Amino acid sequence: MIEALRAAGVEVECWGLGWPAGRLDHDEMVRVFGTSAVNLNLANSSTPPNTLRVRVGRMLGRGPKGPRPAQIKGRTFEVPGCGGFELTERVPHLERYFEFGSELAVYDDLDGLIEQSRYWLEHDEERTKVAEAGYRRVMTEHTYDDRFDAIFAAMGIA
């Protein structure tokens, strides 16, 4: 996906385990999230170790080399929580947490990723408004305090 974006003329920088630039420390990660024009969140950007892949694949009714299901990740909340604009893969239930197009952007496939990347890079004011709305949503509904309160309430713990 990264190579396809680059081939389409979209400038992409990557950090993390396995990328040439390596991992960022926490402060640098927060800075990158908040200052990047578009933060791309791939719902399946890592591959689990073989043993985990076999166990997960079997639990989900797939063979040992089956793909991991797309999922909501912590980054989905961290990027807007840092004030950044996020373009993420559409995954099940994401609409429960964010309004698409007004709090974050989604894509469905590689063509959509390229199209959405180009669109949001060309629309600065709209992108800024979406990032600000995403930030407000995270800070009012999706903090760790909110999550723990919901967990404790479900357990009947005050």
Digit-coded pLDDT (tens) for 110-155: 999 999 999 999 999 999 999 999 999 999 999 999 989 999 999 9
Measured CA distances, 127 to 88, 93, 124 (Å): 14, 23, 5
Parse the chain into domains and list their residue ranges.
2-155
Give the CA radius of gyration of the chain. Answer: 17
Rounded to 5 degrees, φ, ψ at 152 are: -65, -40
Digit-coded pLDDT (tens) for 100-112: 999 999 999 999 9
Which CATH number applies to 2-155: 2.60.40, 3.30.200, 3.40.50, 3.30.530? Answer: 3.40.50
- Candidates 89, 123, 81; CA nearest to 109 is 89
Query: Does the structure show a pLDDT above 90 at 61?
Result: no
> Is-contact 14 24, C-beta < 8 A?
no
Measured CA distances, 35 to 10, 32, 85, 147 (Å): 17, 5, 9, 26
Percent of the chain whose pLDDT exceeds 70 = 84
Q: How confident is the model at residue 42 (pLDDT cuts 50, 70, 90)?
A: confident
pLDDT at 93: 95
Average pLDDT of the chain, as a whole number? 88
Measured CA distances, 44 to 1, 67, 69, 71, 91 (Å): 11, 9, 8, 7, 10
| Dihedral sign from CA coordinates of 102, 104, 109, 110 | positive
Residue 3's CB is within 10 A of a number of other CB atoms, namely 8
CA torsion, ordered 91, 89, 66, 53, to nearest 10 deg: -90
The pTM assigned to this predicted structure is: 0.81
60 CB contacts (<8 Å, ≥6 apart)? 66, 69
Between 54 and 143, residue with greater pLDDT: 143
